[in-house]
Amino acid sequence: QVQLVESGGGSVQPGGSLRLACTSSGFSLNYYSIGWFRQAPGKEREGVSCVGLQENSAYYVDSVKGRFTISRDNAKNSVYLQMTDLKPEDTGIYFCAAPIGAREIIFTQDLCNMKGVDTWGQGTQVTVSS
């Protein structure tokens, strides 16, 4: 069974940091571009950061540039999202996702617009509040 699993969410004060992790079962993350998405209460899901097979292909939405860093560890079959200087507007459920069934190259910005995304994790809650 193909699955994505997120971990690392929690509650922090503004200015704090969290590191989210995404791993998989039933397939290897190492062969796919991976995206991090979030959904705040009452808002649509949005792409936060996406990475191709090489980390230098990373894309970030403007609101997180300079604060979030996406990375891969192929030895651990994991993709991470390091989040620093967190703000209340970063609050939401964070999902990792992948285009497992894609038969074409999907660029990271397109992935963050959900192009080709067909596999989602269950999400992890991030709450930023004083």
Residue 36 and residue 51 in contact, taking contact as beta carbons nearer than 8 Å:
no
pLDDT of residue 96: 98
- Mapped onto helix, strand or coil, the DSSP state of residue 23 is strand
Question: pLDDT tens per residue, the chain (130 residues)?
Answer: 899 999 999 999 999 999 999 999 999 999 999 999 999 999 999 999 999 998 888 999 999 999 999 999 999 999 999 999 999 999 999 999 999 998 888 999 999 999 999 999 999 999 999 9
pLDDT of residue 105: 86
Q: Which residues does 106 contact at the CB level (< 8 Å), separation at least 6?
A: 33, 99, 115, 116
pLDDT of residue 117: 96
Q: For residue 50, with 0-12 CB atoms within 10 Å meaning exposed, 13-18 middle and 19 or more buried, which class applies?
A: buried
Residue among 50, 34, 57 nearest 120 (CA): 34
